Amino acid sequence: MFIEWNKERHSIGIPTIDNQHRELFVITNQLHDLLDKDQYQEEAIKILKRLYAYTNYHFASEEGLLREYSYPGFSDHQNIHKTFTNKIKETLEGIRQKRNFSLAPLLDFLVEWILKHIQVEDVKYAAFFKESSIETDVNFSVSDQKRYDVLDQWEKQKLHLEIVGIDNQHKELIYILQQTNDLQHTSDSRRKIYLPIIIKKLFYYSQFHFSYEEEHMAKNGFPLLKEQQESHKTFIREILNFAEEYKKGIISLTDEIILFLKDWTINHILTEDKKYKVFLESDKEIQS
């Protein structure tokens, strides 16, 4: 393992953020694993796109937290995030244009940036929350009670595919939808501030999840992969359309929008993704 998560050294004491930091370690290690391959341009692009999506999701989560509790260093922290995402975006473009792109300098940058950011910048706001006696993990992570409610519904509707990585990501999507639903019952001013953050989280986390899921399906030779990809693209387009309309003031957060998000996600898991579970089970039976 290239970069290993150490709770004592890397945890800032906020479970949701710590979990997201761990995922950044995982993606960085996936990039490092490519160094053993002769040709890695195509795979590097896929993983970097995943890193870009997940980083934007993580930064949106973190910035929502900092905004919620009026962290005095919010603007500076946000600018640091922008610099990092711009670097990943530029790197992606560079890899697309170069055949012999070296990953080593990028990996050095990623490790240095991630560790420094967590151990210096993120520790600052964690200390601020602690000094202010703020219980931070009840914000955009969904409270413990809400998580219980979501998981209860998860079990009742039998949404699990018994594919650990995909199931965990589906749960996170459901949590984000719960946040959207909760925001519907707040004031207009609060909704105006936080809805764009949650929509940004949903957009980027969906991209991250779809990339992971499609790669999982491709490796296992799932025959309906193209149909899945088209369905995923449709969902992303809907989120983008909603975001654009909201920015223009054309629509507000309505029950219909929430219903669409919830129904699409749950129906997609119960119908399209269940087909993948059935395929994996039948494939195992054939091999045995």
Domains annotated on the chain, with CATH: 1-141 (1.20.120.50), 142-288 (1.20.120.50)
What's the pLDDT score for residue 183?
76
> String of b and e for 37-49 (b: at least 16 CB within 10 Å)?
eeebeeebeebbb
- Picking from 114, 118, 125, 67, the residue whose alpha carbon sits closest to that of residue 88 is 114
Give me the residue label for tokens 């119960």.
Answer: 270
Q: Which of 181, 198, 178 is nearest to 68 (CA)?
A: 198
139 φ, ψ (degrees, to nearest 5): -85, -110
- CB–CB of 161/125 below 8 Å? no
C-alpha span between 278 and 149 (Å, rounded): 27
Select from 123, 48, 120 the least CA-distant residue to 87.
48
Per-residue CA distances from 281 to 95, 163, 220, 267 (Å): 37, 11, 12, 20
Q: 186 in helix, strand or coil?
A: coil
Residue 203 corresponds to which tokens in the numbers above?
């957009």
Q: What is the pLDDT along the chain (288 residues), one digit of tens a residue?
A: 588 899 899 999 988 899 999 999 999 999 999 887 777 788 888 999 999 999 999 999 999 889 888 999 999 999 999 999 999 998 888 888 775 567 888 889 999 999 999 999 999 999 999 999 887 654 444 455 555 566 666 677 777 888 989 999 998 888 888 787 777 777 777 777 888 888 889 999 999 999 999 999 999 999 999 999 999 999 999 888 888 887 777 666 666 777 788 888 888 998 899 999 999 988 665 554
On the CB side of 207, how many CA atoms lie within 13 Å of its CA?
Answer: 23
d(C-alpha 161, C-alpha 170), whole Å: 10
Query: For 77, phi and psi rounded to 5 degrees?
Result: -65, -40
User: What separation, in Å, do the N-terminal and C-terminal C-alpha atoms of the chain show?
Assistant: 32
Helices 225-248 and 188-219: crossing angle, nearest 10°? Answer: 160
Q: How far apart are CA 87 and CA 44, in angstroms?
A: 15
Joined tokens for residue 88: 């990943």
